[in-house]
A and B are shown apart, each in its own frame.
Chain A
Amino acid sequence: MSTAFHILEADNGLPIIGETNPASHSVAVGFFVRTGSRDESAEESGVSHFLEHMIFKGSKKRNSEQLNAELDLIGSSPNAYTSEETTVYYASCLPRHLGRALEVLSDIMRPALRNDDFNLEKKVILEEIGMYEDQPGDMVFDHARKLFFNEHPLGNSVLGTTASVQDLKRDQMADYFRRRYQTGNMVLACAGNFEFEEFSKLALKYCGRWPTGTPRRAEIRQTAGSGGFDVRLDQRTVLEHLIVMNGGPPAASPLRHAADLVSMAIGDDSGSRMYWEIVDPGHAESAGMSYREHEGTGIYYATVECEPGKAQKNLDRVYKIINNLQTDGITQEELDVARTKLLSRMVRGSESPMARLMSLGNHWIYQRKHISLEDEIRSYGKVNMHQVRQLLDRYPFKKMTVQALGPGKKIKQPV
């Protein structure tokens, strides 16, 4: 596949990057903003996500009704998401619609933030929070992150609470927007079947006058987590939802590839140690481990969903698996299998321009560089047993933080 990387930095500091692949049938484009709930003060809790909704309420040039009709005419599936540290606006469309998609996306990145829209959309956000609260499997992550990160801003909830969103004012949002949506804090990325020169010309036309600036991120220290243990009783819930967390390498660490492979060997949803010891025998409906990188720090999540009566034993099993991992590492065979699985998933994922866009934009936001699919494959290829040991020594599993949510009362921390 003949892909090529292109980059241009606008005079106002906005990076414009692209990965062209003429064999694709479609193209994906998006703005990545280095901002999220970790960048909010307590009074602003929920504002990043609320702002993401308000972007789709239109600019000075178009109101939401016009905008929605135009987006549908591009045939794109326009969408956005907000995480703890990034907010992303993206669309995928047929190549012939790219110019219009870019014009519309660029325009709405300068939102009007009209008062009426703000008050109406607040209701939608409150409904979204309500929906989330009815899903214990999602809620448990909010509690877990709060417990693990404690005072660290990465523990901030993305949605915020009903109370914090109720209290938000339109001017707080406008202020947050001015502070965070500056060119040095963003990147425009595009992947798939398109011409970069033409694309970047349009981009300069639409975004060339945006305000320059590179806002700081307050707190980026590494953390091993609080080591807390919390059992949250919820009688409405049928299953017990358990999360065991531990600190891991940050996004910029050369050990992140090893962390991915170790999590896969320990907790992939098939063929891993957690699968064979917990799911295969029927002890839990699901169990797994994943590693998530953040700026400045990283975190492993081991999760279990099971009947409340089985929760204690499953928690003991997770501890045993993790303690064995810390002492003895993983075997060469486990490392090789994890690598094969991860790489073939990566190659499969890369077939869609949307997946390439996400990789392109997020690597830029975290590391300010282009990492091609081939680079990533090479890095995973290089992980050896020595690196695995290095990872476990540098980010040891020795201070686990545990969150439980469900009907189970008598869950105790394993010794």
Chain B
Amino acid sequence: MKQKIHQAVMGNGMRLVAERLDHVHTAAFQFLFPAGSMADPVGMRGLSNILSDLMTRGAGKQNNREFNAAMDRLGVDFSTSSGVLNLRLAGNCLAENLEKALELFADMIRRPTLPEKELAPVVDLAMQDIRSTDDSPRKKVMLEVRKQHFPAPLGLDPRGEIKTLEKISINDVRSFHAKKLQPKDAIFSVAGRVDLDQVQAIAERFFGDWEAGTPSVLKEKPSSKKPARVHIHKETEQVHIGLAYPSVPVAHPDYFAALGMVQVLSGGMSSRLFTEIREKRGLCYSIWTTLSPLKHSGAILGYAGTTAARAQETLNLFISELSRVAEGVEEDEVQRLQVGLETSLLMQEDSSGARSNSLVSDIFNLGRVRPVEELREGIASITRKKIIDYAKRNPPSPLTLATIGPSKLKIS
């Protein structure tokens, strides 16, 4: 299968990457700016997130209602969000509406109104969103473990805190937008039933005359070297357990071995955590690990939820399974994980949204698009030995542990 991909760098530095998918009717697109919460000024964490919410409330010549009605009339599903590293704007529509949709996005990105009267409700909503995390201990425990594991500001909640949000004024938002959202270092991806030449022309028309400013360079710091522990007492039914320990970034030669190890642990129905903790002992309903690779660092994150009386046993087994990978991996485990990884890779091809997301992430993390064929080769290159070697060199240590529940747990 030959992928049809077009790439270009515009005069102002904005990178364009587009892929033609013949079998879909839609076009999905994404804009990425390296202006996530790491770019927030000190004491004003959450500013980038506030900007991403405020940008949708009027742009170009249209006010809040007119702008959103225009998106709705085109049937564009869109979202704006701010993570730790990036601020992203994404949209998805029928392919024939792509040009009109991008015209609206150009307004939102380059000419947002950022109206003062909309700031208070946006801040209010952000505060409610932060508070609402308390009603989902599963989500909260993972936020806590990130906060403990990654050095600030990398591990901090990109939404900020109530006290930092209170300080934000409309001028802060406007100046953040002017300084941090620049075409230089921005990435724009499109995937779907699109004409690649036409996409290039549209990009030039809407973004070609955007003047390049000074790029903002963000540096990640390495992960925590000290084991951190945190417990939040709450009278919940279950103890919610979050774990984290260091792994490798996307471009690292060990990336596929790390991916393979995570699959051995929790990649399928026959994976070790599922088998040992849920199937054999019935200790959990939900238990998983995931590889969370960033551009310059990476971590393995894990979760389990168990009723209090059985939580310590679950944690002990969880950690011992993490360590046990270094002792050996079976050939049939490797075979299964390869089938699983290849299947999910190829299934992405049925979704324009998944493709546009991969394109943008590849450019950001690697500076190039990784063809599907290369990923298949990477998956095929995983062997028992590579996983074991990786596991030996990257034991679950230092291990960060966060728990929420009625009782505190110990690491033996």
Same complex origin of A and B? yes
Contact B339–A281 (Cβ < 8 Å): no
Whether the pair B73, A340 counts as a contact (CB closer than 8 A) is: yes
Is A305 touching B24 in the complex (CB atoms < 8 A)?
Answer: no
Report if B347 contacts A (CB, 8 A): yes
CB contacts under 8 Å to A, within B121-151, are: 121-125, 128-129, 131-132, 134-138
A337 at the interface (CB under 8 A from B): yes
Given A56-B269, A72-B270, A280-B64, check contact A25 B349 (CB 8 Å). Answer: yes
Does A23 lie within 8 Å of B270, measured CB to CB? no
- B351 and A351 within 8 A (CB): yes
When C-beta atoms are compared, the residue in chain A nearest to B347 turns out to be: A26
B174 touches A (CB below 8 Å) = no
How far apart are the CA atoms of A334 and B378 in the complex, in Å?
A: 50
- Number of residues on chain A facing chain B (CB within 8 A): 69
For residue B263, which residue of chain A has the nearest CB? A72
Question: B284 an interface residue at 8 Å Cβ cutoff?
Answer: yes
Decide if A122 touches B282 in the complex (CB within 8 Å): yes
**List of B residues within 8 angstroms of A284 by Cβ:** 128
Residues B350 and A351 in contact, CB atoms below 8 Å apart = yes
Task: Give the complex CA separation of A123 and B281 in angstroms.
Answer: 8
Mask, A312-332, CB within 8 Å of B = 1, is 000000000000000000000
User: In the complex, how many residues of chain B place their beta carbon closer than 8 angstroms to a beta carbon of chain A?
Assistant: 76
* Bound-complex Cα distance A323 to B69 (A): 24
Check if A344 sits within 8 Å of B120, measured CB to CB. no
Binds A, one of B202-210, B236-244, B357-365: B236-244
CB of B99 closer than 8 Å to a CB of A: no
Closest to A121 in B: B282
Contact indicator A134/B285 (Cβ below 8 Å): no
Check A130 for interface membership: any CB of B closer than 8 A: yes
Interface 1/0 per residue, B54-81 and A, CB below 8 Å? 0000000000110011011111110000
**Contact (Cβ within 8 A) A94 B283:** no
* A93 within 8 Å of B (CB atoms): yes
Q: By the criterion CB–CB under 8 Å, are A271 and B68 in contact?
A: yes
Q: Does A376 contact B (CB under 8 A)?
A: no
Taking CB atoms, residues of chain A closer than 8 Å to B68 are 270-271
Kindly identify which residue among A71, A282, A344 contacts B125, using a CB–CB cutoff of 8 Å: A282
Please tell me if A218 contacts chain B, counting CB pairs below 8 Å: no
Does A64 reach chain B (CB closer than 8 Å)? yes
Q: State whether A75 touches B342 (Cβ < 8 A).
A: yes
* Chain A residues, CB < 8 A from B76: 344
B contact residues around A351 at 8 Å (CB)? 23-26, 350-352
Q: Could you mark each residue 111-149 of chain A with 1 if its beta carbon is under 8 Å from any beta carbon of chain B, else 0?
A: 000000000111111111111011111000000000000
Q: Does A223 contact B (CB under 8 A)?
A: no
| CB <8 Å contact, B343 and A94 | yes
Query: Which residues of chain B are near A134, meaning CB under 8 Å?
Result: 137-138, 236-238, 240, 305
* In the complex, chain A residues 351-387 whose Cβ is within 8 Å of any chain B Cβ: 351-353
In the complex, chain A residues whose CB is within 8 Å of the CB of B77: 341, 344-345, 348
> Within A72-100, which residues are at the interface with B (CB < 8 Å)?
72-78, 92-94, 97
B155, CB-defined interface residue at 8 Å: no
Of the 9-residue stretches A167-175, A232-240, A254-262, A392-400, which lies at the interface with chain B? A232-240
Given contacts A25-B23, A73-B336, A280-B121, 19 further A-B pairs with CB under 8 A are A26-B347, A26-B350, A65-B279, A69-B269, A72-B267, A74-B339, A92-B347, A125-B285, A128-B285, A130-B307, A134-B238, A238-B132, A239-B132, A281-B121, A337-B73, A341-B72, A348-B77, A351-B23, A352-B351
